[in-house]
Structure 1
Amino acid sequence: MNAAADAILSAKGLTKEFFGFKAVNKVDLDIHEGTIHALIGPNGAGKTTVFNLLTKFLTPTAGTIVFQGRDITGVRPADVARMGLVRSFQISAVFPHLTVLDNVRVALQRKAHLGTQFWRSNRMLDRLNDEAHQLIEAVGLTAFAGHDAAELPYGRKRALEIATTLALDPPVLLFDEPMAGMGVEDIGRISDLIRRIAKGRTVVMVEHNLNVVADLCDQVTVLARGEILAEGDYASVSSDARVREAYMGSEDE
């Protein structure tokens, strides 16, 4: 099988220099459709830079990025998001003083091209309610639909952010440290949510919690000093001597 041809998102020779320092150096990466793919590595590995390059928040110094067969290397982040390459927690529309339902309706209005049409009647916007409630149920927030977002516990806010991102119905979701700052209960809840929403979608995530990576991810790319150190399933990369050396026996970045 041609791995690149089978990839929904692919990077070739991806390089990023900052004032002569190569934070990412000639990275070749293939993300396959329908998988959960993690980028991991120790401090300074370049994984966040790769993530920002893939989502177009940074412009590569060299290399190409292809999404669904189209070269997006020079495409703006907003246009890439409209194509269906969506970075959660960065572009999701969550407003603290709107209810959970209204937050999701705002996101659905954007997809329906109603986002700037403030003269629309409530009756017209109410047509979005069924879909909004389906998304709210999908992320386990039905009991919180009438609550303001500001009232939600931290993990529930993350779930709401995922719901607003799902409103765009993207084929590829990218999560930047989705478990950061969470307790054990919230980690379990968000892990289960990501597993559910990944069905029929592709997920790319940067994650520090290696237990989460082991539990969720089909494919793991380990970065070190801006280059790919190892790739494969978690069992294979975690047993790689080079990976163990890079982490110096620690599961924390």
Structure 2
Amino acid sequence: MDDLILETKGLSKQFKGFAAVSDVDLRVRRGTIHAVIGPNGAGKTTLFNLLTKFLPPSSGTIHFNGKDITNDNAGQIARQGIVRSFQISAVFPKLTVLENVRVALQRKAGLATQFWRSEQSLHKLDAAAMQLLEDVDLASFANASTVNLAYGRKRALEIATTLAMDPELMLLDEPTAGMGHEDIDTVTELIRKVAASRTIVMVEHNLGVVSTLSDTITVMQRGSVLAEGPYDVVSRNPQVLEAYVGVTEDA
């Protein structure tokens, strides 16, 4: 279907006989926010590792924009427009906020491996970097040392560096992990903002964030898909309630 940007069929990953991901059929519609949730050990991060080819699948297929990318490597996946963030904020603490974004922009500018270039020669990227910082409300911190940023702002910076790769599909792994309420609200609104022009798949433990942002939710348990649908349907599913809080249909 034309509105599907990402689709997996029978996607599985085994480690010495243990099925971390088992026969997952995932269908992500273009221009939506699709959440993947589930208890600890459900296989969510392994699924992300398969989609971005940090791990090869044991079986199954992955299609992006209708093209089979199952056998592509991580670099090829990124170049096609699938870019991922991680649970732990991945920024350069000794660089300024602007310099972090500029490093991410170097790949697009054809300067990805030229770290020995002079500072002055990279200033042509500053305007684009500042625009990205404006997009994530960090422009006023452009010259600040990244190590001094509050945790929520570091996550916002990571989203900016992800956007610098010009992704068509963003995979966000636990974007609000470890945050207080104020930072969660800020990052939630940021995700909503950047989703206006791209598709997002996110693994997220905070069900408040999931209910606020998601168009579709896939619930995983023990490596398999337990349920799928909009939040108001999934949240009433007896199997989902049992998996999360131990509530059975007869309770």
Q: Report TM bin, short chain.
A: over 0.9
Query: Partner residue of 2:48?
Result: 51
Counterparts of 2:46 and 2:109, CA distance in 1: 32
Counterpart check, 1:66 vs 2:63: yes
Residue aligned with 1:228, SS: strand
Residue aligned with 1:199, SS: helix
Counterpart check, 1:199 vs 2:196: yes
Counterpart check, 1:78 vs 2:109: no
Counterpart check, 1:135 vs 2:132: yes
What is the 5 A alignment of 1:217-232?
A: 217-232=214-229
**1:151 CA drift (Å):** 1.0
Query: Partner residue of 1:168?
Result: 165
Residue aligned with 2:196, SS: coil
Counterparts of 1:228 and 1:56, CA distance in 2: 20
Query: Partner residue of 2:148?
Result: 151
**1:6 CA drift (Å):** 2.8
Identity rate, percent: 62
**1:117 CA drift (Å):** 2.7
Equivalent pair of 2:86/2:174 in contact (CA under 8 Å): no
Equivalent pair of 1:89/1:161 in contact (CA under 8 Å): no
Residue aligned with 2:54, SS: coil
Q: Return closer, same or farther for 1:133/1:13 CA change in 2, 3 Å cut-off.
A: same
Q: How many residues are aligned here? A: 247
Counterparts of 1:152 and 1:208, CA distance in 2: 24
Q: Return closer, same or farther for 1:121/1:210 CA change in 2, 3 Å cut-off.
A: same
What is the 5 A alignment of 1:18-37?
A: 18-37=15-34
Query: Partner residue of 2:107?
Result: 110
Q: TM-score, structure 2 length as denominator? A: 0.93
Counterparts of 1:17 and 1:121, CA distance in 2: 47
**1:249 CA drift (Å):** 4.9
Counterparts of 1:223 and 1:56, CA distance in 2: 20
Deviation readout 1:57-86 (Å, 9 max, x if unpaired): 111110001111221111111221111100
**1:17 CA drift (Å):** 0.9
Residue aligned with 2:93, SS: coil
Counterparts of 1:140 and 1:200, CA distance in 2: 17
Equivalent pair of 2:89/2:155 in contact (CA under 8 Å): no
Counterparts of 2:33 and 2:114, CA distance in 1: 36
Moved more, 116-125 or 189-198: 116-125
Counterparts of 1:180 and 1:90, CA distance in 2: 7
Counterparts of 1:158 and 1:235, CA distance in 2: 28
**1:139 CA drift (Å):** 0.7
Counterparts of 1:93 and 1:115, CA distance in 2: 17
**1:94 CA drift (Å):** 2.4
Q: TM-score, structure 1 length as denominator? A: 0.92
Deviation readout 1:74-101 (Å, 9 max, x if unpaired): 1111221111100113899721111111
| Structure 2 unaligned blocks of 5 or more | none
AA at the equivalent of 1:196: K
Query: Partner residue of 1:242?
Result: 239
Equivalent pair of 1:105/1:129 in contact (CA under 8 Å): yes
**1:118 CA drift (Å):** 4.3
What is the 5 A alignment of 1:84-99?
A: 84-89=81-86, 94-99=91-96
Residue aligned with 1:223, SS: strand
CA RMSD of aligned residues (A): 1.8
Residue aligned with 1:129, SS: helix
Equivalent pair of 2:87/2:177 in contact (CA under 8 Å): no
Counterparts of 1:103 and 1:122, CA distance in 2: 13
